Amino acid sequence: MTKPTLNPQHAKRRARRSAMQALYQWQISQQNLKDIEEQFRVDQDMSKVDLDYFHHLLHQVPGKLDELDKVLNGFTDRSIDEVDPVERAILRIGVFELQYQPDIPYKVVLNESVNLAKQFGAEDGHKYVNGILDKVAKDLREVEIQAGL
C-alpha cells in the first residue's frame, strides 16, 4: 500500500501551526525542546505535517531567539516579553522565516502568520501580528517588496 502524497504547502502550513503550539508550550513551561517534540509526535496527529520543517522551526527559532527578539524589539511598542505568548510565538516564527527562509515569499510569511493569529491569538491579535511583520518585512525583504514579488 502506498503512502498518500502530501501537498507540500499544506504540510508546511501544518508544520508551522504545530511549531507555533510547541513554541508556545516551550515559552510557558521552559520544558526541553526534544521532550516537547517527542510529545507532539506521539500525542498529535502529525501524519499530514512536514515533520522536517516542524523540527527545523522548533529548534532553530529558540536557537536564534536573541537575534529574533532584537529584530522584534525594534518594531514592537513594548518588550517582546510583554507580548501575548501566542502572538510572541507567531512573531518569532514569522521573523525567523523572513530572515532565514528567503525561499518563502514574504507575502506567504505574513499571510500564514496572520492566519495563525486569527485562529489561536487574542481577538485583534492578528492585526498586531500583521502590523509588526509588515514593518519587519519592509526592512528584511526590501528588494523583494520593491520588485513586487
Q: 88 in a domain, yes or no? A: yes
Phi, psi of 124 (to 5 degrees): -110, 20
Q: 44 in a domain, yes or no? A: yes
Q: 36 in a domain, yes or no? A: yes
For position 28, which CATH number holds? 1.10.940.10
pLDDT of amino acid 4:
52
DSSP letter at 81 equals G
Q: 32 in a domain, yes or no? A: yes
Residue spans of alpha helices (H) in 30-124: 33-43, 51-63, 65-73, 85-100, 106-120
pTM summary value? 0.91
What's the rounded mean pLDDT across residues 28-37? Answer: 93
Q: pLDDT for 61-119, tens place per residue?
A: 999 999 999 999 999 989 999 999 999 999 999 999 999 999 999 999 999 999 999 99
Structural domains of the chain, count: 1
Q: 2 in a domain, yes or no? A: no
Structural domain harbouring 87: 8-146
pLDDT of amino acid 8:
78
